[in-house]
């Protein structure tokens, strides 16, 4: 299987090297295309690709993977995925593997993660993808996350026939505890944790400081955050940008009534967004 390997920490990160080595040892053909430097927190951003001109790209070698060319591109992880999946470096891959990120990508963090953003970008291009992260620590047991990734890649790739039938490619978010492999408590499918972080923002002369202040609530049992803390590896299938059900009481438990109280309690009179906005537009004398 041909696998595009990328990350958001750059080609010199030990995480991507551990991931690539594990996949290579499992017998897969590798195409490594990753940012030339640190691009953490870039989400699925691709920048002004069609207006910025060519992207600088150099080839490097990793001694532990002799014969595998590593393409270091001056771009975000998502843009690296574009380049690799669209054929800039030869035949497109069968699947994309992104990581290993130092620090878990759990809960709402998947929105901001360049590791996960690369995987979701691959899916928009029609390729199944795996995002791999390991819980934070003073040092990292990269081999634990790498081994789990090599075992997970077959499940991810198995969704290709479904994708050929018009079903979205599989995207799997894997988070490993930062322990030796023998100490992993097991593998559990997990829900994304709800937002429970406390942040502060402060304006100073000439700058703004955003400050992480810790968690603001209890972690839900069964969430990815709780399970990783308990020593489990978690897997969470993700879906990219899709239309949400909204209006006509079809909130599916969400808050689509406009009052931001976390509940769809009917304050929109059961009308959909287009109907409400159209009525408001008509009320100010503009054509519907």
Asked if residue 129 lies in contact with residue 97, where contact means CB atoms within 8 angstroms, the answer is yes
Q: What is the dihedral of CA 88, 76, 171, 6, to 10 degrees?
A: 60
Q: What is the pLDDT of residues 43-100, one digit of tens each?
A: 999 988 777 789 999 999 999 998 899 999 999 999 999 999 999 999 999 999 999 9
Quote the CA–CA distance of 12 and 20 in Å, as a whole number: 12
Q: What is the percent of the chain with per-residue pLDDT over 70, rounded to a whole number?
A: 86
Q: What's the whole-number average pLDDT of the chain?
A: 87
Summarize pLDDT for 207-242 with one digit per residue, the tens.
Answer: 999 998 877 666 778 899 999 999 999 999 998 877
Closest CA to 134 of 8, 239, 15, 222: 15
Q: Specify the DSSP class assigned to residue 169.
A: P
CA distance to 20, 59, 60, 93, per residue, from 234 (Å): 20, 34, 33, 25
CATH class of the domain defined by 2-193+219-238: alpha beta
pLDDT band at 266 (very low <50, low <70, confident <90, very high): low
- Cα-Cα-Cα-Cα torsion 284, 256, 242, 153, nearest 10 degrees, comes to 160
Tokens of 92: 């497109």
For the chain, where do the domains classified as CATH 3.40.1210.10 start and end? Answer: 2-193+219-238
Question: What's the DSSP call for residue 223?
Answer: B
Contact 131, 96 (CB under 8 A): no
Among the ranges given (71-80, 123-132, 201-210, 244-253), the one the predictor scored with the smallest mean pLDDT: 244-253
């Amino acid at each position: 299987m041909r696998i595009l390997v990328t990350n958001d920490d750059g080609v010199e990160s030990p995480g991507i090297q551990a991931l690539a080595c594990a996949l290579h040892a499992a017998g897969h053909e590798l195409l490594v295309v990753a940012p030339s430097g640190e691009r953490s927190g870039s989400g699925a951003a691709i920048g002004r690709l069609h207006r910025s001109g060519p992207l600088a790209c150099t080839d490097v070698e990793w001694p532990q993977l002799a014969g595998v060319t590593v393409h270091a591109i001056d771009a975000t992880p998502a843009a690296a995925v574009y380049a690799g999946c669209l054929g800039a470096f030869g035949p497109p891959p069968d699947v994309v593997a992104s990581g290993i990120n130092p620090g878990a990508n759990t809960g709402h963090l998947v929105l901001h993660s360049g590791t996960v953003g690369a995987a979701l970008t691959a899916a928009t291009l029609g390729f199944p993808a795996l995002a791999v992260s390991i819980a934070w620590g003073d040092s990292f047991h990269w081999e634990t996350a790498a081994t789990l990734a090599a075992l997970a890649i077959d499940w991810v790739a198995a969704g290709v026939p479904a994708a050929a039938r018009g079903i979205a490619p599989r995207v799997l978010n894997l988070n490993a505890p930062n322990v030796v492999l023998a100490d992993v408590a097991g593998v559990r499918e997990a829900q994304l944790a709800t937002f429970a972080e406390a942040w502060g923002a402060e304006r100073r002369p000439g700058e703004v400081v955003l400050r992480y202040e810790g968690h603001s609530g209890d972690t839900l049992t069964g969430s990815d955050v709780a399970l990783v803390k308990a020593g489990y590896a978690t897997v969470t299938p993700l879906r990219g940008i899709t239309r949400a059900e909204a209006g006509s009481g079809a909130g599916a438990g969400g808050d689509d009534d406009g009052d931001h109280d976390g509940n769809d309690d009917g304050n929109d009179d059961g009308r959909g967004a287009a109907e409400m906005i159209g009525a408001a537009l008509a009320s100010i004398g503009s054509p519907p």
